[in-house]
Structure 1
Amino acid sequence: MKNIAKIVLFSMLGGAITLSSYKLFLEPDVKEITVYKEPSTRTFTTPVVNNTANLDALSNIDLTQAAEKTVNSVVHVTNTATYIQPRSLFDYYNNRGEQIEKGSTGSGVIITPDGYIVTNNHVIDNADKLTVKLNNQKTYQARVVGTDKKHDIAVIKIETDEDLPYIPFGNSDNVKIGEWALAVGNPYNLTSTVTAGIISAKARDLDGDRNIQSYIQTDAAVNPGNSGGALVNTRGELIGINTAISSRTGSYIGYAFAVPSNITRKIVEDLMEFGTVQQGILGVSGNGLNAEFAKHYEVNETEGYFIASVDEKSGAAKAGLKKGDIIKKMDHVIIKKSSDLTGFLSSKNPNNIVNVTIYRNGKLKTIPVKLSDKSILTSTAFGLELKNLTQTEKENYDISSGIRVIEVIDSRLKKNLRITKDCVITKFNEKSIESIDDLNELKSLEIKNLYQIEVIYPDGQMKNWWLQ
Structure 2
Amino acid sequence: MKKVIGISLLAAFVGGAAAIGGYKLLEPSAGSAGITGLQNTYFANGTPRVSSTGAVDFVDAAAIVSPAVVNINTTFGESSSRDEMSIFDFFNDRNIRRSPRSASGSGVILTSDGYIATNNHVVDKASKIEVILTDKRKVVAKVVGKDPNTDLALLKIEEKNLPFVKLGNSDAVQVGEWVLAIGFPLNLQTTVTAGIVSAKARNIGILNQNQRTPTFEEMQEYRRSGVLPEARTNASIESFIQTDAAINPGNSGGALINVNGELIGINTAIASNTGFNEGYGFAIPVNLAKKILDDFMKYGEVKRGYIGITFKPLDAGDRDSLKLDDLNGLLVNSVVAGGGGDKAGIRKGDIIKKIDGKAIFDSPDLQERVGVLSPGDKVTLSILRDNQLKNVVVTLQELKQEAETKVASNKSAISIESLGATFRTMTDAAKAQRGVRNGVVVESVVRGKILDNYGIEKGMIVTHINDIPVNSPKEIEEALKKSSGEYVSVTTSPERGSTFKFAVPNVKR
Q: Which TM-score tier does this pair reach, normalised by the shorter chain?
A: 0.5 to 0.7
- Mark the CA change 1:403 to 1:59 in structure 2 (over 3 Å): closer, same or farther: farther
The CA deviation string for residues 16-39 of structure 1, in whole angstroms up to 9 with x for no partner, is: xxxxxxxxxxxxxxxxxxxxxxxx
Q: Residues 214, 434 of structure 1: CA spacing in aligned structure 2 closer, same or farther, 3 A cutoff?
A: farther
The 5 A counterparts of 1:36-435 are 60-83=55-78, 102-160=101-159, 162-207=160-205, 208=222, 209-211=227-229, 212=236, 213-375=238-400, 387=404, 405-407=426-428, 425-426=442-443, 432-433=456-457
Report the AA paired with residue 426 of structure 2: V
Give the drift of 1:362: 3.6
Summarize deviations over 1:134-166 as a string: whole Å, max 9, x none: 112222111111211122111111101x21111
What secondary structure is seen at the aligned counterpart in 2 of 1:342? helix
Given that residues 112 and 164 in structure 1 are in contact (C-alpha distance below 8 angstroms), is that contact kept between their aligned partners in structure 2? yes
1:295 is displaced (CA, Å) by 4.1
Q: Could you list the runs of 5+ residues in structure 2 that have no partner in the other structure?
A: 1-50, 80-98, 206-221, 230-235, 407-422, 432-438, 446-450, 481-509
Cα distance in 2 for residues equivalent to 1:446 and 1:409 = 23
Using the TM superposition, give the Cα deviation of residue 60 of structure 1 relative to its aligned residue in structure 2, in angstroms.
3.7
1:418 corresponds in structure 2 to none
Residue 128 of structure 1 aligns to a residue whose secondary structure is: strand
SS of the counterpart of 2:141? strand
Asked if structure 1 preserves the Cα contact closer than 8 Å seen for 2:181 and 2:255, the reply is yes
Larger RCO, structures 1/2 (Cα 8 Å, 6+ apart): 2
Q: Deviations over 1:225-282 (max 9, x none)?
A: 1001011112222211111000011000100011111221111122222222222111
RMSD (Å) for aligned C-alpha atoms:
3.7
How far is the alpha carbon of 1:404 from its aligned partner?
Answer: 8.2
Residue 363 (structure 1) shift: 4.0
Which amino acid in the other structure matches residue 387 of structure 1?
E
Q: What secondary structure sits across from 2:139 in the alignment?
A: strand
Residues 106 and 403 of structure 1: is their aligned pair in 2 closer, same or farther, counting only changes over 3 Å? farther
1:138 alignment partner AA: R
Considering only CA atoms, is the larger Rg found in Structure 1 or Structure 2? 1
Contact 2:56 2:260 (8 Å CA) reproduced: no
Amino acid at match of 2:468: K
C-alpha deviation, 1:467, in angstroms: 5.4
Post-superposition shift, 1:101? 6.1
Partner of 1:416: none
Runs of 4+ in 1 over 6 A off after TM superposition: 56-59
TM (norm. structure 1) is 0.68
Deviations 1:287-306 (A, max 9, x none): 11132343454533311111
TM-score (normalizing by structure 2): 0.63
Q: Is the 8 A contact 1:142 1:156 kept in 2?
A: yes
Matched to 2:252, the amino acid is S
User: CA offset at residue 75 of structure 1?
Assistant: 0.3
- Determine if contact 2:305/2:371 at 8 Å carries over to the other structure: yes
Is the Cα contact below 8 Å between 2:241 and 2:285 reproduced in 1?
Answer: yes
How far did residue 221 of structure 1 move?
0.4
Letter in 1 for 2:362: K
Q: Is the 8 A contact 1:452 1:467 kept in 2?
A: no
| Inter-CA distance 296–173: structure 2 relative to 1 (3 Å threshold) | farther
C-alpha distance in structure 1 between counterparts of 2:399 and 2:365, whole Å: 18
8 Å CA contact retained: 2:228, 2:363 = no
Amino acid at match of 1:130: I
AA partner of residue 375 (structure 1):
K
What is the total number of aligned residue pairs between the two structures? 358
* Whole-angstrom CA distance in 2 between matches of 1:141 and 1:179: 37
Structure 1 residues 447 and 105: CA distance shift in structure 2, 3 A: same
